[in-house]
Structure 1
Amino acid sequence: MNSTPEPPDIGFGQRLKIQRTRKGMTREVLAGLVGKSASWIKALETGRLQTPKLPVLLRLAEALRVRDLAQLTGDQSVSVELFTGPGHSRLPAVRAAVNALPALTDRVAPPVEHLRARLSQAWTERHSSPNHREALGQLLPSLIEDAQLAAHQAEDRTTRRRAQATLAEVYALSQFFIAYQPAQDLLWRVAERGIVAAQDSGDLHAIGVSAWLMAQAHRDTGDWDAADMVTTQTMELLEPRLNDAGDDPLAIWGSLVFESGYTAAHRGEIGNAWGYWDRAREVAGQLPDDYYHPVTSFSQAIIGAHATTIAVELHAGGEGVRQSERTASGRIPSRPRRARHEIEQARAYYLDAQPEVALATLEAAHKAAPETIRYNGYARRILLEELDERDGRRQQRASALADRMGMLNA
């Protein structure tokens, strides 16, 4: 990731070009993602057109995965963080647990079986709680410290490998808590430690989960090549071992197939994006009807939600609406994942020029899981646009939801 700051005196057009080229994106691709022409992008970059108004700025920021509008405008007085939510009150305790050195304590680690039971309960809490970050924030510090301690104290090879597989999944759970908070350094530390622990364990499921999350971390920073490398190599590792491996490794493989499609959609590669989704749908069809993977959510219930995501990432509003209306959010058992799907549905309606329906869908997402929508950059972007809307009723509705999300107090 290139984090070199731009000089403060360069113009909007130059900043736009820098951000676009850092992502390896052509003018044609960026133009397609924001519903404009390549010549319009060129006119912005060369200064023939002035800085666009807020709604268009927000669409450019979303397409480029720019986390703060000041990175495009250069004006720190209009700093607006899009893809980073507020810092949770329990983040310092989680950070301290991750950074703790197990070698500095004489306390005996709990048995791996005990840790597995606690980890299973933590996943249950995560899926069932509307305020899932608060629930995880309470459970994670002691779970992280105990899992690190168990991996450190394991004396025989078998116990060590089981402890490392458990630690890798604890790090995976931690990423769900840390994501979209102002803690990118901690997110990467946990992601990298998760990969190392998973590889040390030799457990295919642990390796797949850690790689799935690492690919997302790369993609969210705009490093699509790295995301593709992680998913492709892990799929090659897992595929020959899928026969009789059970539902969980199969679900992980299907999740990685979809991640490849998600990254292709970010690139604007329509055929590849839907091709990977088709393959993921075939994998989902091999799983039991009531199966639901506790980490990735991969299942028959989620594959329709994935179709909505592909459509909106390709900025195909009409197709996104069609796909979203084919998938009932009530089938998704996880509250935060249900809310995430409803946010994707809202994006589809907003792209399809149905802002009232989009706002109603965001309200449903807030009801399902307030801590999901509060940290979601796409939801924040829609509300920021609607706060600038001339229609007083829409502006008032957006303002009320933004207030409940804490956006107006940030």
Structure 2
Amino acid sequence: MSPSERRAVDDQTSAPGAPVRTIGQRIQYLRERRGMTREVLAGLVGKSESWLKAVEHGRRQQNPRLPILLQLAEALRVRDLSELTGDQSLPVRMFTGSGHPALSAVREAVNAVPIQPSGTVQPLTTLRARLDAAWRIRHASPDHRTALGDLLPDLIRDAQLAAWMYRGEHRRTAQALLAETYGLTQMFVAYQPAPDLLWRVADRALIAAQESEDPLALSCAVWFLAQAHRDAADFDAAHEINRQGMAAIESHMDDPGTDLLAMWGALLFELAFTAARTGDIGEAWRHWDEAARVADRLPDGYYQPWTSFSRVIMRPHAVTIAVELHQGGESARQSDHAESVPIPSRPRRGRHLIEVARALSLQRDHAAVLGTLQLAYQAAPETIRYNGYARRMTLDLCEAGPATLRPQARELADHIGLMI
């Protein structure tokens, strides 16, 4: 929020004797400034529209607790809690995770566009092999951001140089490789305090994919860009980008290769995910069904490295849809079905366990929530460390969970770098 916008939030406190704007009034102001309805904001934080209305109008005896305030801050895209509370500044990044040590090196590599190119241009086969190895390392490593942080700066620079220097058909191939490199970079940057960098790599990936004229590269870049819009709560844009991307590759779907078929399924699931975030039950499950039918056409054992789309991922995806729709019973049922799903990716397995913990949270099963978060930490520490849902659930257990669980919750909070 800019200084002028911040003053607008506090305008009622500027004159002597003016009434102090309440937390509810601040939430309403920020929500309306973003053009967000009560229904959407309430859904993003797992509450009813009537609950949010009562908060905004000051009809609740107590203000929302800190975990809910953090969810509201994330949904409203504010950087510190004082924008909601009016109290001393408390940066949201204290609870959403600080930047990875390699973030600055990755940023420097992204920003070093070769306007005056120099250096040795890598053969395209070498870049392809390096990218394939990077994806394998990401999925196999419990600390996948650290592993990627070691690889990405040189890979980004070399891919950018290749896209600049090659000509003709080779240039189109290089652009496709660059788009994929930016997608991998977005996975490193996501959920870190670097929204500007995330949007930069998402936009550049789409441009490079368009230059490549490769439908597979284009669908992958669209998938990443739609995710960026959805995570920013711009659901209309996420839906429209998703639809446009599918329209652009539809002519290639009569006889697609396996990877392109999987991308079609991944984009169908993104439509389901976006619909679930907006509370559209019918559309969410309809698109999940469509994605599941695509997954059934994939070979046994296939697992797409870019999106994780596969047969095996559809049950975890069902958990996510049910949780986003706040369907407590359905999310519990889907979690039971997905309990032993053999997800081959450690970070994706960690993410699935966090979704299961969210489902258990809807049931208010505090012990199971904590146990599942502990399993997520064992599977992929750097997934839970940067996941806002996991951090908020851990904080909630530390502050308001059963007294017998709080010591273990605080131990987990310490492991994931949560300041309490």
Shorter-chain TM-score bucket reads over 0.9
Pick aligned residue for 2:382 from 358, 366, 371: 371
Pick aligned residue for 2:84 from 72, 78, 82: 72
Give the superposition deviation at 1:117. 0.3
Q: Decide whether the 8 Å contact of 2:265 with 2:309 is kept in 1.
A: yes
Letter of the 1:151 counterpart: A
Structure 2, unpaired ranges of 5+? 14-20
Task: Find out whether 1:263 has 2:262 as its counterpart.
Answer: no
Structure 1, unpaired ranges of 5+? none
Task: Find out whether 1:189 has 2:191 as its counterpart.
Answer: no
Partner of 2:174: 163
Structure 2 counterparts to residues 56-135 of structure 1, below 5 A: 56-58=68-70, 60-61=72-73, 68-81=80-93, 84-135=96-147
Structure 2 counterparts to residues 236-385 of structure 1, below 5 A: 236-328=247-339, 330-385=341-396
Give the superposition deviation at 1:76. 3.5
Measure the CA separation in 2 of the matches of 1:262 and 1:401. Answer: 29
Cα deviation, 1:195-224, whole Å, max 9, x if unaligned, reads: 000000011111111110101111111111
Letter of the 1:301 counterpart: V
Measure the CA separation in 2 of the matches of 1:289 and 1:65. Answer: 41
Q: Please, what is the CA RMSD of the aligned residues?
A: 2.3
Give the superposition deviation at 1:407. 1.3
Give the superposition deviation at 1:174. 0.4
Partner of 2:190: 179
Pick aligned residue for 1:21 from 14, 32, 36: 32
CA distance change for structure 1 residues 66 and 329 in 2, over 3 Å: closer, same or farther? farther
Cα deviation, 1:68-114, whole Å, max 9, x if unaligned, reads: 54342232344443874211111111111111132434312111111
Task: Find out whether 1:143 has 2:155 as its counterpart.
Answer: yes
Measure the CA separation in 2 of the matches of 1:349 and 1:383. Answer: 13
Q: TM-score, normalised by structure 1?
A: 0.93
Give the superposition deviation at 1:60. 4.4
Letter of the 1:340 counterpart: R
The aligned length equals 408
Cα deviation, 1:25-45, whole Å, max 9, x if unaligned, reads: 433454566565544322321
Partner of 1:54: 66
Q: Decide whether the 8 Å contact of 2:110 with 2:156 is kept in 1.
A: yes
Measure the CA separation in 2 of the matches of 1:210 and 1:7. Answer: 37
CA distance change for structure 1 residues 209 and 350 in 2, over 3 Å: closer, same or farther? same
Measure the CA separation in 1 of the matches of 2:277 and 2:2. Answer: 18
Letter of the 1:332 counterpart: I
CA distance change for structure 1 residues 202 and 230 in 2, over 3 Å: closer, same or farther? same
Q: Decide whether the 8 Å contact of 1:82 with 1:381 is kept in 2.
A: no
Give the superposition deviation at 1:46. 2.2
Moved more, 311-320 or 208-217: 311-320
Look up the SS of the partner of 1:408 in the other structure.
Answer: coil
Q: TM-score, normalised by structure 2?
A: 0.91
Measure the CA separation in 2 of the matches of 1:153 and 1:369. Answer: 38
Give the superposition deviation at 1:57. 3.3
Cα deviation, 1:224-243, whole Å, max 9, x if unaligned, reads: 11101110111111222112
Task: Find out whether 1:200 has 2:211 as its counterpart.
Answer: yes
Letter of the 1:375 counterpart: Y
Measure the CA separation in 2 of the matches of 1:34 and 1:43. Answer: 15
Give the superposition deviation at 1:120. 0.2
Letter of the 2:228 counterpart: A
Measure the CA separation in 2 of the matches of 1:268 and 1:23. Answer: 18
Q: Decide whether the 8 Å contact of 1:12 with 1:45 is kept in 2.
A: yes
